[in-house]
Amino acid sequence: METPSPAGSRIGRYEILESLGQGGMGIVYKARDPRLGRLVALKVLRTDWACDAERKRRFVREARTASALNHPGILVIYEIGAHEGVDHIAMEFVPGGTLADRIASGPLPADQALPLAAQIADALAAAHAAGVVHRDLKPSNIMMPAADRVKVVDFGLAKLIGPAGPTDETSDVATLSGVILGTAAYMSPEQAAGKDVDARSDLFSLGTILYEMLAGRRPLAATPSRRRLPRSSGTRRRRPGLAPGLRGSSIAASRRTRAVASRPRPSSRLPSRRSPLPRRPRRSPPSPSFRSTT
């Protein structure tokens, strides 16, 4: 089956209005659900992958995983279906673009970036509490229904963690002798290395996103789609140029948040968003090297 032409056609009962964009797994259309008279975003699995059982299974799991989460910072899934053998997910339509679009127009002032990062962290905390790790957190997977609100989408690489969880999906991350492809820019070192990941991997991605919001660029110099795997995080070596409004204690707090989240070894990161940020150790006064006897 060919990819349906956007405007005017139907996929199942959905009336296609326009194409919103294309990602790794399929095309997203703005559509109308005539039964309920509302707009939806309809994600349709790429037709050239429609016969791939593994991709199909992951596409269906994306919808199931996301629909099990109920949080204002997580996009609502309305329905999962198939039409003429092609799977689709109908989800809440969010006007206003993505965080990637927002960052493209320049760094965010700290008083905008920090509350947005806190909302993303809260959404992740809810997912992590339900045993779900996002695994593909990046600015294009963060919708902005308003300038001060975010909704996390695409639990496409999410997997239910725990002993009964499904097998590893690291095959999605193409690795070529140390070069990783795709959305690796936000990926934790352990995920990029194909190891098991948990909530701390998402916090690493969040640290990278916070850096990019404040600096307007990613912490690791790279082309968007291809970079060398860091042996350890390069974020410690480079500091973001600070956006206006980031002053005094908020500079220290945001640097500490990002630095702690971006530590290369997961064991040295925070275990969850709920964990208190470590305080910067106070320098003890230098001990005298000799004592006057007079």
Active site residues: 136
Using CB distances below 5 to 8 A depending on partner kind, what does residue 275 bind out of Mg ion, ligand ATP, none? none
Q: Which two tokens stand for residue 103?
A: 């960052």
Minimum separation from the CB atom of position 64 to Mg ion (A):
17
Using CB distances below 5 to 8 A depending on partner kind, what does residue 242 bind out of ligand ATP, Mg ion, none? none
Q: Which two tokens stand for residue 226?
A: 């291809």
Residues 6+ apart with CB under 8 A from 242: 110, 214, 215, 251
Q: What is the DSSP letter of 187?
A: -
Residues 6+ apart with CB under 8 A from 172: 157, 182
Residue nearest to Mg ion (CB): 154
CA–CA distance, 211 with 192 (Å, rounded to integer): 19
Minimum separation from the CB atom of position 25 to Mg ion (A):
8
Residue nearest to ligand ATP (CB): 23
Out of 108, 120, 123, 183, the only residue in the binding site for ligand ATP (CB under 6 A) is 183
Measuring CA to CA, how many Å separate 266 from each of 192, 198, 204, 232?
13, 9, 8, 11
Out of 154, 172, 202, 212, the only residue in the binding site for ligand ATP (CB under 6 A) is 154
Asked whether 107 and 243 are in contact (CB, 8 A), the reply is yes
Using CB distances below 5 to 8 A depending on partner kind, what does residue 203 bind out of ligand ATP, Mg ion, none? none
Confirm or reject binding of residue 140 to ligand ATP (CB under 6 A): yes
Give the interface segment with ligand ATP, choosing from 6-14, 137-145, 200-208, 217-225 (CB under 6 A): 137-145
Minimum separation from the CB atom of position 154 to Mg ion (A):
4
Enumerate residues 54-83 that contact ligand ATP by CB under 6 A.
75
Q: For residue 110, count CB atoms less than 10 angstroms from its CB and return exposed for 0-12, middle for 13-18, buried for 19 or more.
A: buried
Confirm or reject binding of residue 212 to ligand ATP (CB under 6 A): no
Using CB distances below 5 to 8 A depending on partner kind, what does residue 91 bind out of ligand ATP, Mg ion, none? ligand ATP
Minimum separation from the CB atom of position 13 to ligand ATP (A):
18
Cα 81 to its chain centre, rounded Å, is 25
Q: For residue 222, count CB atoms less than 10 angstroms from its CB and return exposed for 0-12, middle for 13-18, buried for 19 or more.
A: middle
Sites of contact with ligand ATP (CB under 6 A)? 20-26, 28, 41, 75, 91-94, 98, 136, 140-141, 143, 153-154, 156, 183
